[in-house]
Structure 1
C-alpha cells in the first residue's frame, strides 16, 4: 500500500521539474519569449495548489481510493492534452489539468498514512513522503533529458501508462474509508489563495527589471500588486475563522514555524532556479537539450550523497546549524553561478555547491523542525504548511526568473542575474535562521488557539 502512495506522489512531483530540459525545445516549437517560458513550470505549481484542498476535501467525503483514482485519471488526461498540444496556450491548459489531478495524490497519501500507520511511525512516514518532492524535483530533469531524446512530448505521454498501472494497484490495495464527519471545505480560502498566488505570478512576471519604476506603473503590473495587497489580509482574515483552513494560522503562531516557512519559500525559489540550469547549459555551451540535462548530474549526485549525512548531523549538532550550513553553501553556489565566467569547471563547481547546500534543506532538516513544532496532533498540518510554502517559493522563483530574463538584453545574462536574486533571498533566509533553536525540544507545549 505504501509503495502505491509513494509512487503516486513521486509521479506528481516529477512533473513539476521534468520540463526543465524540454524548455529550449518547447521555446523553439511554439516561438515562446523568455518572459512567458517559465509559465510551463508555474502553471503546474499554481494549479497543483488549487487542486490540493479541493481533492483533499472530496476524499474525506467520497473515500481515499476513489479520489486517488479520480486524481490519476485527471492527471493522465492533462498529460495527454499536453503531449498533443498544437499551441502554447493548449500546452499550458494541459499542464493546468495535469497539476489539478496531481494535487489530489499527496493529501490522499497523507490521509491514508494518518489512518493506517501506527502513531509512533506516522511522523517519520509523513516526513519521507514529503521528502519525495525534494528528491523528485532534482531527478525530474535527468529523466526529462532521457525522454527528450525521442521528443519533448514523451515527457507527458509517459504518464499515461504509469497512471494506468497505479490505477490497477490502487483499486486493489488502497482503503475506501471516509471520515465519519468530514470537515467543512474552506472554499473561500482556497479561492483567495489561488487569486493571491496568481496575482503574485502575473505581477512579478511582467516587471521590467531594466526600468522597474516605470513598469510598476503599467496596467499589466500595478493591478496585480493592488490585488495582492487586498487579497493577503483578506486571506488571513478568512483563514482565522475557517474550520479547516488551507493556510492554518494556528501553526503560524509558532515563531519557529514562521522562520521555517520563510526558509521553505527560499528553498522553493532555489528549486525553480535549478529547473532552468539545462537551458543555461544550452545557451552557454551550445549543446543540445537532451545532453543539457546531464549537466545536472553533479548537482544531483552531491545532493543524494550529502542528504543522508545532513540527516545524521541533525542528532549531533541540531537542525539550526544544519539549515544554516545548507543556506550558506547554497548562497555561495548561486553567487558563483551568477558571477564567475561560465565554463564547464565553474558550472559544475557551482552545481556541486548548490547540491551540497540543498542537502541540508530538502527532506529531513526543515521537516524535522516542522514535525516537532506542530506537535503530535498537527503533524499532518505542519507538513502541509511546509509543502505550501515550498510551492509558493517555486511560483515566486519562476515568476522572478521570467521577469528578469524577459527584461535582460539576452536570456543567458538574465538567468545569471535571476540566480543572484535567488541567492539574495537565501541570504535573507540565513539571517532569519538565527532565530531557530539550537536543538528542537522533544516535548513542547501545544499551540494555542487562534
Structure 2
C-alpha cells in the first residue's frame, strides 16, 4: 500500500474510534446510570452528568495546541502513537470502573478525562500527518474522507450504544479497546516521520501553563454555570462561576503578550498574518459555536417530546432519537469527501461559504416546526444541515493546513482543533443555557396548571411545579418519565390517595404523553430563539469563510 493511504487509513481509524466513543456514550447514559446505581434525577447527580458530557471537551481543548507544538518538536508520529495508547488505557479503565453510586460516577469522569488526553494527541496530529503525506492537490479529498469517518463513527456508535447498553453498560466502553489496540500496533509498525522534528527548539513552559490554565478555568466556569445555584436554574451569577470565568479570561488575555516575548512560542501568532489561515480558523470557531450544540438539542427534543408523543416508551427513546437523527449524519457523509475533492481543484472559498449558507437556510426552516411535526420535513431539514456542514469542514480544514509551512503543521492542526473543540463545548453550554432559561420562566406555571386540571391538590401541584428545570430537561435526555420519579418520591400514601380520588387524572399525569405536552411550548420557544442566534453566527461564519480570498490550492505553500 502506498504510504499516504497507510496514513489516511490509520488516522481514519483513530477518528472512527473517537466518534464511536462519543455517540455510544450519549445513547448509553441511562444504562450507565442504572448500572452504577445512581439516580440521574438526584440533585447531586447532575454534576456528574454534566462533567461526563463536557469534561472531555474541556480537557481535550486545553491540551491540543500544546500537543501540536510538541509534535512539531519531537515528532508527530511519536505523539500520535502515544494518543492511541492513552485513549485505549482510558477505555479499559472505564470498562472496569469498580465503584457504585457517586464514587463510580466520579471515577467515570476521571477516566473520561484520561481518554480526552489521548484524544487531544490524536486530534493534534491527524490533520498534520495527512497534510505531510498527501500532495496539495489531494489533501482536501483525504481530509474529507477522514472527517466522514467521524460521522460514520457517530452512526455506528448510535447503533452499538442502543444494542450494547441493553446487554451490559460496560460493553459501551470495551468497544473502543479493539480499535485502540489495532491503531496502536498499526501505527508502531507502519507510520514513519516525514517531517523533521525541531528538537533544538525549547518548550514554551510559561505559554503552555498560561494557555492551559486560562482555558481550563474559562471552560470549567462555563460548565459550572449550567448547574443550579441558590434556587435558580443556572449559576451564571454564582461567585464560583464569576471567579473562574474572570480568572480564565484574564489569564488568556495575558497569553498573547507572553507568546510575543518568547523565542519559541507554542501558539504561532505569525500564522494569523495569512488571510487564508486566519479566515479559516475564525470560520471554524464560528461554525462550531453555531452547530456544536444543535445535534444534542434536537436529540433532547426527540427524546423528551416527539418520540413519547408518537408512542415510544421512555426507555427506548435514546436509541430511537439516534436513529431519527441519522439524516444529519448522512448529509455530512454525502458531501464530505466530494467537497474535499472539489476544494483540491477549485479552492475552499465557494464550497465552505456555500455550506454555511445552506446550514443557515435549514436552521431558519426548522424555526417553523411545531412540536408535533411530521418527520419527513424534519429529516430533510437536518439532512440539509449535514450537507452544509459537510461542504464546509473538509475544504476549510484543507485551506487552513495548506496555508502553513511544513514545520508548523502540528501546531496549526492543534490550533484548528482547539478552536473547534472549544467552540463545541461552549455551544453545548449556550444551547443548554437558553433551554434552561425558557424552562425556568415557563415550566413551573405549565406544570402547576396542568396538575390542577388533572385533579391534583393545589398545594401538591405547587410543590411538584418547583421541580428544577435541569431535572426536567435531563430526565427527557436520559429517557426517564420525570413524573413517575417525582410521584414515587412523595410521602407514603399520598400518590395512592390521589390515584384513588381521581384515577383518570392520575393515569393521565403518569402517561408518556402528559409531560411532553407540558414541556413542549417552552422547549420550542427556546429552540426557536437558539436557532435564531445560531443562524446569525452561521452567517458570520460564511462571511469569514468568504474573506479567505480566491487563492488557488496549487499556489499555496507546502508540499
Aligned twin of 2:249? 229
Give the structure 2 partner of residue 138 of structure 1.
151
**TM-superposed deviation, 1:308:** 4.2
Deviation per CA, 1:93-120, whole angstroms, max 9, x where unpaired?
11100110222234455666677x4xxx
Distance of 2:114 and 2:271 partners within structure 1: 30
Change (3 A) 1:433 1:291: same
Change (3 A) 1:369 1:262: same
3-state SS of paired residue (1:31): coil
**Structure 1 residues 424 and 24, CA, compared in 2 at 3 Å: closer, same or farther?**
farther
Q: How does 1:84-123 map to 2 (within 5 A)?
A: 84-85=96-97, 86=100, 87-109=104-126, 117=133, 121-123=134-136
For the structure 1 residues 114 and 84, does the alpha-carbon distance in structure 2 shift closer, same or farther, using more than 3 Å as the test? same
Instruction: Indicate whether 1:428 and 2:459 are aligned.
Output: no
Give the deviation of 1:160 after TM superposition.
1.5
Deviates more, 1:427-436 or 1:388-397: 427-436
CA deviations 1:49-93 (Å, max 9, x no partner) are 344455556667776666444433321221123334443322221
Name the residue aligned to 1:31. 40
Q: CA RMSD in A?
A: 3.7
Instruction: Give the one of 162, 165, 171 matched to 1:154.
Output: 171
2:91 to 54, 79, 86: 79
5 Å matches for 1:59-74? 67-74=79-86
Equivalent in 254, 269, 282 of residue 274 of structure 2: 254
Is it true that 1:358 corresponds to 2:389 in the alignment? yes
1:199 maps to 217
1:219 and 2:219 correspond: no
Task: Name the CA distance, whole Å, in 2 between partners of 1:60 and 1:383.
Answer: 10
Q: CA deviation at 1:165?
A: 2.4
Query: Where in structure 2 are the equivalents of 1:333-344 lying within 5 Å?
Result: 333-342=362-371, 343=373, 344=375
Gaps of 5+ in 1: none
Change (3 A) 1:193 1:30: farther
Provide the rounded CA distance (Å) in 2 between the counterparts of 1:230 and 1:17.
34
1:278 maps to 2:321: no
Would the aligned equivalents of 1:201 and 1:399 in 2 still touch at CA under 8 Å? no
Displacement after TM superposition at 1:393 (Å): 1.2
Larger Rg: 2
**SS at 1:236 equivalent:** helix
Name the counterpart of 2:56: 44
1:150 alignment partner, SS class: helix
Q: Is the 8 A contact 2:94 2:170 kept in 1?
A: yes
Q: Is the 8 A contact 2:141 2:339 kept in 1?
A: no
Deviates more, 1:83-92 or 1:282-291: 83-92
User: Counterpart in 2 of 1:369?
Assistant: 399
1:305 to 318, 321, 334: 334
Q: 2 CA distance for matches of 1:421 and 1:202?
A: 23
Report the count of equivalent residues. 440
**SS of the counterpart of 1:299?**
helix
Change (3 A) 1:187 1:157: farther
Listed as ranges, the gaps of 5+ residues in structure 2 are 1-5, 440-471, 474-519
Change (3 A) 1:94 1:404: farther
Question: What is the aligned partner in structure 1 of residue 427 from structure 2?
Answer: 397
| Aligned counterparts of 2:124 and 2:200: Cα–Cα separation in 1 | 14
Residues in 2 aligned to 1:319 and 1:5: alpha-carbon distance in whole angstroms:
22
Change (3 A) 1:8 1:310: closer
Question: 1:138 and 1:181 mapped to 2: Cα distance?
Answer: 36
- Aligned pair in 2 of structure 1 residues 419, 21: CA closer, same or farther (>3 Å)? farther
Bigger shift: residues 146-155 or 133-142: 133-142
Tell me the CA shift for residue 18 of structure 1.
4.3
> 374-383 or 292-301: which moved more?
374-383
| Pairing 1:181–2:199 present | yes
Q: Is contact 2:141–2:337 with CA below 8 Å preserved after alignment? A: no
Which residue in the other structure is 1:331 paired with? 360
CA contact (8 A) 1:130 1:383 kept: no
- Asked whether the equivalents of residues 265 and 393 of structure 1 are also in contact (C-alpha less than 8 Å), the reply is yes
- The answer to whether the Cα contact below 8 Å between 1:372 and 1:442 also exists between their aligned partners in 2 is no
Matched residue, 1:7 = 13
Distance 1:57 1:441 in 2: 25
> TM-score normalised to the size of structure 2?
0.68
